[in-house]
Amino acid sequence: MNFLLKHLPKIVFFTAIFSLFIGILMGEHEMIFNYAVVVCLSCIGIG
Amino acid sequence: MTIALKQRISQLLSSILFNSAFSGFITGSIYQGKFKYLPCPGFNCHSCPSALLACPIGAIQLFVSFGAYHVSFYLLGFLGSIGAVGGRIVCGWACPFGLMQDMLYRIRLPKIKVPEIMRKMKFFILFFVVLGVAYYTKEPWFCKFCPMGTLEAGIPLVSMNADLLQLTGWLFCLKISILAGFAVWMTVSKRPFCQTVCPLGAIYSFFNKISFLRLKVNKKKCIKCNLCADVCPVDIKIYQEGGGSANCIRCFRCTKCPAEAIKITFNTTLQH
């Protein structure tokens, strides 16, 4: 337990990097791209 | 060069970098190139005509509403890796909205502190509005009230497109009022949006205690001169709250401590 606590920053960092690659493999960046290239009507205040 | 000046330059360069598709302001449309695959590390609306990157909060709401498993590993990994290295460092050094708040606070007016209880509100907004309400209603409710969206997207796009102007109604007026309210608050309080509302800051704040880059406060050396609290852009007393405070935006201005009680550390392990 102490070992896990001591190395928590590294565990969190490498989990985040792993999660990032999983997300890319799942094609999530495509979904973000398709969302971000269209004007968000809620942001403008008309939808 | 002082830390404050370095921070200001970094904030300015980041704001320009995140909004460097300037041609959008001529065409009246938004950038649609490949950089939009990336989320913006700071709080920046992707519907701004010059925005280069995607808004992370808007994208989180998109995945919560319509994602196959309602969570984005890509966004978790992106924001998590930044948070794991520097905690809320983006808030202090690279957020365009943070820069705007810092600038407005320089206006010479009587100043008031943000009440302590209101600092917890950003977690409520993250879990209730950004995650909860978006999940149940399938609508990006945070964006509907976001003052950054009004400033960067609403005002420029509506003023450049007559068709959009005709579609404006009560929501646009409400958004303008919210932006105006925050703008006034920013002149009298230090970073009120970061302290009370910002869901992106709330996400990064979870990493403040365990990030590689941390602030170490030596309470034995502290002479309680309050200089750190005076220079702090979010009004925290780091000698009381500690270096891992969720409210600390890692600007490092407090490291100019006369008693040398506050130090920047970079450590990949937690010491007990």
pLDDT digits (tens, 9 = 90+) for B3-25: 999 999 999 999 999 999 999 99
Q: Across the interface, do A7 and B269 touch by the CB < 8 Å criterion?
A: yes
Q: Which of B59, B140, B168 sits opposite A45 (nearest CB)?
A: B168
- Please report the DSSP string for B208-262 in residue order: TTT-SEEEEE-TTT-----HHHHH-TT---HHHH-TT-TT-----GGG--TT--E
For residue B143, the chain A residue with the least C-alpha distance is A43
Q: Across the interface, do A44 and B47 touch by the CB < 8 Å criterion?
A: yes
Mean pLDDT by 10 residues, chain B (272 residues): 93 96 92 96 95 96 89 96 96 96 96 94 96 95 95 94 91 96 97 96 96 93 92 93 92 93 92 67
Q: Across the interface, do B210 and A12 touch by the CB < 8 Å criterion?
A: yes
Q: Residue B181 is encoded by which pair of tokens?
A: 């309210």
For residue A21, the chain B residue with the least C-alpha distance is B74
Instruction: Describe chain B by its helix, strand, coil percentages, rounded to 5.
Output: 55, 5, 40
Tell me the chain A residues in contact with residue B169 when contact means C-beta distances shorter than 8 Å: 46
Ordered by start, the domain boundaries in chain B are: 3-205, 217-266
Tell me the chain A residues in contact with residue B164 when contact means C-beta distances shorter than 8 Å: 44, 46
Contact of A3 with chain B, judged by CB distance below 8 Å, is answered with: no
Contact of B22 with chain A, judged by CB distance below 8 Å, is answered with: no
Tell me the chain A residues in contact with residue B74 when contact means C-beta distances shorter than 8 Å: 19-20, 22-24, 26, 28-29, 32
What pLDDT does residue B97 have?
Answer: 96
ipTM: 0.95
- Please report the DSSP string for B98-157 in residue order: HHHHHHHHTS-S---PPPGGGGGHHHHIIIIIIIIIHHHH-S-HHHHH-HHHIIIIIHHH
Query: Which residue in B37, B155, B265 has the most chain A C-beta atoms within 10 A of its own C-beta, making it the best mutation to test that interface?
Result: B37
Q: Across the interface, do B37 and A33 touch by the CB < 8 Å criterion?
A: yes
The highest-level CATH class for domain B217-266 is alpha beta
Contact of B124 with chain A, judged by CB distance below 8 Å, is answered with: no
- pLDDT tens digits along B174-219: 999 999 999 999 999 999 999 999 999 999 999 999 999 999 999 8
Low-confidence ranges of chain A (pLDDT < 50): none
Q: Across the interface, do B74 and A36 touch by the CB < 8 Å criterion?
A: no
Tell me the chain B residues in contact with residue A37 when contact means C-beta distances shorter than 8 Å: 30, 32, 36
Instruction: Write the CB contacts of B209 (distance below 8 Å, at least 6 apart in sequence).
Output: B87, B244, B246
Q: Across the interface, do A28 and B267 touch by the CB < 8 Å criterion?
A: no
Contact of A11 with chain B, judged by CB distance below 8 Å, is answered with: no
What pLDDT does residue A1 have?
Answer: 81
